[in-house]
Amino acid sequence: MEAGNETERTADEAQLESARDEFVTQWGAIGSAWGINRTMAQIHALLLITPKALTTDEVMEELKISRGNAHMNLRELVGWGLVRSVVRKGERKEYFEAEKDVWKMFCIIVRERKRREIRPAIGVLKDCIERVEGLKSSEAQLFTQQTRALCEFMEMADGVLSKVARSEQSSVVPWALKFLK
């Protein structure tokens, strides 16, 4: 191999590694902004951009995190359905790979956020409404009116998100995008 080609390949590898590191770091920051543990988001990012499944040890080494931290966050990602465990014949080590299909990933996240956040919020709103429903004061009526409006909006959002998440490779998205142009 010529020296020029090897130097070019090394420069390309360094540029790719820098971009990968930046992606993992920024995905972690974005995850934090969305209420996701930074390390969990970084592990997801790493698995998302790595072409092969990785072991817990490889994740630990790449991200410079403890075994407990790696294990706990990998289990959480598996629980969400964003990462799956892969068993290789004849090996004792467990490997992990991320869902690479962006639309499926989006649908998984929507389903989980609905289950963990939206539905409990709807339950709280309904409970609050029931607790003051019979009260006659103007303050109680305003409270009921506002919480009922919030509850109706959350239920509508829940329904829309359910339709989008069920559609997997959605025909809804191109249709909705027409309205945004």
pLDDT tens-digit map of 91-150: 889 999 999 988 888 888 888 889 989 999 999 999 999 999 889 999 999 999 999 999
Query: At residue 173, does pLDDT exceed 70?
Result: no
pLDDT at 23: 95
Find the radius of gyration of the CA atoms of the chain: 23
Determine which of 23-32, 55-64, 155-164 has the lowest per-residue pLDDT on average: 155-164
143 within 8 A of 78, measured Cβ to Cβ? no
State the pLDDT at residue 170.
Answer: 56
DSSP classification of residue 84? E
pLDDT of amino acid 7 = 76
Which pTM does this prediction carry? 0.77
**38-47, 68-77, 105-114: least confident range:** 105-114
